[in-house]
Structure 1
Amino acid sequence: MMNITTNLDDVEFIESQIMSDPAASYWLKEQIKESSNRDILDVLNDVDILRSILALRHEAMKTARG
């Protein structure tokens, strides 16, 4: 991805690129769209929680496979 900036125009450009990319998942596109209607700090908190849960699931799956 490009250099990450804090310029809102750049962020909107990146989001539009993802939204128009046929290789980007439907789920990711939906989250980008839905997150624009929410408080950004709530979204970031939810993302942190989701990432932690997914990391735990990944570790559990690796352990189960031995």
Structure 2
Amino acid sequence: MALLLLVGLILTVGAVTPAPMQAATTDSYVAGKSPAGTYQVPYTVNKAGKDTPSLANSFFSGVATVVVTSG
């Protein structure tokens, strides 16, 4: 059972997409345009090729930490 869950998780990882974000604010992360800092970015694990959440989505926090460094 655990192996099946792990295989399903591995297959689903490719379907992780960022959740829609509201209008940008000074503390929002915008890819390629945000200053250096640490941001919390919401995301959803979707079904492969779909815009609907996967059953695996409930096993994730739904928030990723993004660290932007100048470089």
Where is the strand percentage greater, Structure 1 or Structure 2?
Answer: 2
For Structure 1 versus Structure 2, the TM-score category normalised by the shorter chain is under 0.3
Q: Which has the higher contact order (CA 8 A, sep 6+)?
A: 2
| TM-score, structure 1 as length reference | 0.21
When Rg is computed on C-alpha atoms for both structures, the one with the higher figure is 1
Where is the helix percentage greater, Structure 1 or Structure 2?
Answer: 1
| TM-score, structure 2 as length reference | 0.21
